[in-house]
């Protein structure tokens, strides 16, 4: 089978070669994997605060019946588990997309980090949040900070700008 010459030239165009993943992206991806693991651990931490959740529901809504309090507690548990699983999935998605050189993943990761920053600041000002939950949210934030710093280093920017990453 013979190939026709490339229009305007006599050679076939060189296929876009994928540049090697720079150390900064590798480190960011490692931190994102740690963030996913921390999100799953966060579910366990949240489940250890069940009595505190129930106490908060009762103190904020003293007129609720025992059944209503239990229902509200179950909803809160469901939200905590779902948010932990969604958080882990987002960490994994951003890690894989960043490693693949998708610049949109760097931008989305930065936006998600900004949202987490707002959550940490709001959580720090909330009197009712427990010590373990507060420490956990700061650990997650620090992991995110590290990942963002690595994603915006010069070597990362060059990797994201490479021709193979335009999709």
Nearest to 133 by CA among 58, 83, 59: 83
pLDDT level of residue 47 (50, 70, 90 thresholds)? confident
The domain segmentation of the chain, as residue ranges, is 23-165
Q: End-to-end CA distance of the chain: give it in Å, rounded.
A: 30
For position 142, what pLDDT does the model report? Answer: 97
Contacts of 99 (CB under 8 A, 6+ apart): 21, 25, 26, 29
**Over the stretch 94-145, which tens digit does the pLDDT of each residue have?**
999 999 999 999 999 999 999 999 988 887 766 555 677 778 889 999 999 9
Alpha helices in 49-102 (DSSP H): 50-60, 66-99
Q: How many CA atoms lie within 13 A of 99 on its CB side?
A: 14
Contact of 40 with 84, CB cutoff 8 Å:
yes
Whether the full predicted model's pTM is greater than 0.85, yes or no, is no
Q: From the CB of residue 73, how many other CB atoms can be counted at a distance below 10 Å? A: 18
């Amino acid at each position: 089978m013979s190939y026709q010459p490339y229009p305007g030239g006599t050679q076939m165009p060189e296929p876009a070669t994928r540049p090697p993943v720079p150390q900064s992206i590798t480190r960011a991806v490692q931190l994102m994997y740690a963030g996913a693991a921390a999100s799953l651990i966060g579910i366990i931490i949240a489940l250890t605060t069940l009595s505190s959740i129930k106490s908060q529901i009762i103190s904020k809504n003293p007129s609720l019946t025992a059944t209503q309090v239990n229902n509200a507690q179950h909803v809160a548990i469901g939200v905590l588990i779902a948010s932990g699983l969604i958080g882990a999935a987002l960490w994994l998605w951003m890690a894989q997309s960043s490693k693949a050189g998708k610049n949109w993943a760097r931008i989305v990761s930065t936006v998600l980090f900004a949202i987490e920053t707002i959550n940490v600041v709001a959580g720090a000002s909330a009197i009712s949040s427990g010590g373990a939950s507060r420490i956990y949210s700061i650990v997650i934030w620090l992991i995110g900070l590290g990942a963002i710093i690595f994603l915006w280093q010069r070597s990362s920017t060059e990797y994201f700008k490479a021709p193979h990453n335009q999709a």
